[in-house]
Amino acid sequence: MHRVIEPASDIIWDSAGTIDTIDGREDLAPTSDAEWLETMNAAAVLVESGNLLKLPSRSENRSDWIEIASGLSAVGHKLIAAAEAQNADIVFDEGGNLYNVCVACHTRYWIKED
């Protein structure tokens, strides 16, 4: 989670929306082909992470886990398509869906450390 999914998610979230400051509005959307490629690669990490989470050793007898992992992959696929099209609006919308998938997982499976 902390070394794979979280960094990839942060790239997605840092590639969408705007920030309003006293100096004006900053658009977070990628502005170069290299930045769009970074967004697309992060989305691919999310797709494959969802696939890995569905391996039997991780998902056995946990249909809700499989549903969440499938949701992660589905959002990742939509984000890949958005990055390929260089569509910042869809990246923003799917970033919200990614957040919802993350919350669904954290609500059920957050491991509290001592």
**Cα separation of 32 and 98, whole Å?**
23
pTM to 2 decimals?
0.92
Q: Which amino acid is at 60?
A: E
Return the H-helix or E-strand segment holding 41: helix 33-53
Q: What is the pLDDT of residues 38-97, one digit of tens each?
A: 999 999 999 999 999 999 998 888 899 999 999 999 999 999 999 999 999 999 999 999
**Cα separation of 58 and 62, whole Å?**
9
The domains of the chain are located at 5-109
* Partners of 24 in beta bridges: 21
Q: What is the pLDDT of residues 1-52, one digit of tens each?
A: 889 999 999 999 999 999 999 999 999 999 999 999 999 999 999 999 999 9
